[in-house]
């Protein structure tokens, strides 16, 4: 019996589903992706939310921080990911100065992630200080994922990448940031590099899902794909778990290729194309004439 389209079509992960998973105590797996091939893999194995993070500035584009990443770069990479994904929710990370300058520009740029790149929502960094921008984005009908704690776009202000919320005063500010985002309609919040005890307070204080990266036990976890598979060698954050060493595998493969080329072992016969003998004879005759 032939399946109907409705029975074969993948069901997109929705905000309602993410909230339901929180209520049921089901953990959500989030990952970053920056291109079509990795997005295909992540969607295939069941990642529920794929973030096209501005972390690609460091992992893919070679910048020292996320600050140089542009809207054009983010839209290009988000589009590549969105074209690969059928089930996971795709969230585009709004880059530095794409939403901080004005409310109108924040809404316009957020909308481009949906209309041009095919994402299902956007992420911005900050809480209280970006509350007006966050509200405008949500009011425009754009799903918003918040991001508090260590916010890499503020690296110059922080003086580096460090744990946030280590004092009672800092922790209160994090709770206030989370509440501000919830108040304006953020569907979930990413908490980065904060003490696990503070994360537990956040879980008690806000009703939406809290997803952690270096934040202990949460409603779900997110990692940078290049950290997870060992493809970014400059550094590995303390909170990241390296599940594979793809960099070493790739180096071995490339080294073997270089050695085979130099030794004349590649290409072998099975890697070459041939023309028919009569065509070859004709070709030689034409070249002589």
Q: At what angle do helices 103-115 and 71-84 cross, to 10 degrees?
A: 30
What token pair was written down for 1?
């019996």
Tokens (6 digits) for 74: 């983010």
Query: Which residue out of 10, 192, 205, 259 is catalytically annotated?
Result: 192
CB 142 within 8 A of CB 110: yes
Cβ neighbours of residue 258 under 8 Å, at least 6 residues apart?
none
Annotation marks residue 192 as catalytic: yes
Strand, coil or helix: what is 125? strand
Q: Which two tokens stand for residue 119?
A: 């994402």
Calpha distance 231→144 (Å, rounded): 29
For the chain, where are the alpha helices, taking DSSP H only?
A: 5-8, 15-24, 36-45, 56-59, 71-84, 103-115, 131-139, 155-158, 168-183, 196-205, 225-228, 246-263, 277-288
CA proximity to 56, closest of 133, 146, 152: 152
Q: Is the dihedral of CA 74, 77, 83, 86 positive or negative?
A: negative
Give kind and range of the element (H or E) at residue 148. Answer: strand 144-149
Active site residues: 192
């Amino acid at each position: 019996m032939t399946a109907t389209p409705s029975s074969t079509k993948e069901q997109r992960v929705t905000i309602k589903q993410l909230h339901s998973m929180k209520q049921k105590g089901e953990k959500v797996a989030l990952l970053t992706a920056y291109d079509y091939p990795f997005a295909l893999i992540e969607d295939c194995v069941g990642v529920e939310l794929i973030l096209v993070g501005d972390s690609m500035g460091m992992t893919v584009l070679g910048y020292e921080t996320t600050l140089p990443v542009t809207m054009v770069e983010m839209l290009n990479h988000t589009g590549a990911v969105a074209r690969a994904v059928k089930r996971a929710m795709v969230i585009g990370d709004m880059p530095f100065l794409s939403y901080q300058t004005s409310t109108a520009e924040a809404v316009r740029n957020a909308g481009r992630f949906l209309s041009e790149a095919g994402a299902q929502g956007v992420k911005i960094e900050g809480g209280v200080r970006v509350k007006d921008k966050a509200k405008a984005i949500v009011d425009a009908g754009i799903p918003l994922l918040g991001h508090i704690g260590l916010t890499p776009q503020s690296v110059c202000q922080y003086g580096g990448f460090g744990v946030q919320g280590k004092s009672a005063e800092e922790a209160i500010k994090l709770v206030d940031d989370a509440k501000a985002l919830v108040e304006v309609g953020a569907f979930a919040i990413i908490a980065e590099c904060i003490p696990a005890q503070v994360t537990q307070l956040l879980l008690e204080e806000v009703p939406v899902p809290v997803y952690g990266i270096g934040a202990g036990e949460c409603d779900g976890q997110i990692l940078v794909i290049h950290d997870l598979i060992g493809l970014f060698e400059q550094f590995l954050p303390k909170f990241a778990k390296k599940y594979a060493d793809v960099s070493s595998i790739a180096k071995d493969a490339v080294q073997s290729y270089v050695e085979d080329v130099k030794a004349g072992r590649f290409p072998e016969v099975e890697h070459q194309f041939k023309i028919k003998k009569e065509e070859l004879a004709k070709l030689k005759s034409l070249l002589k004439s």
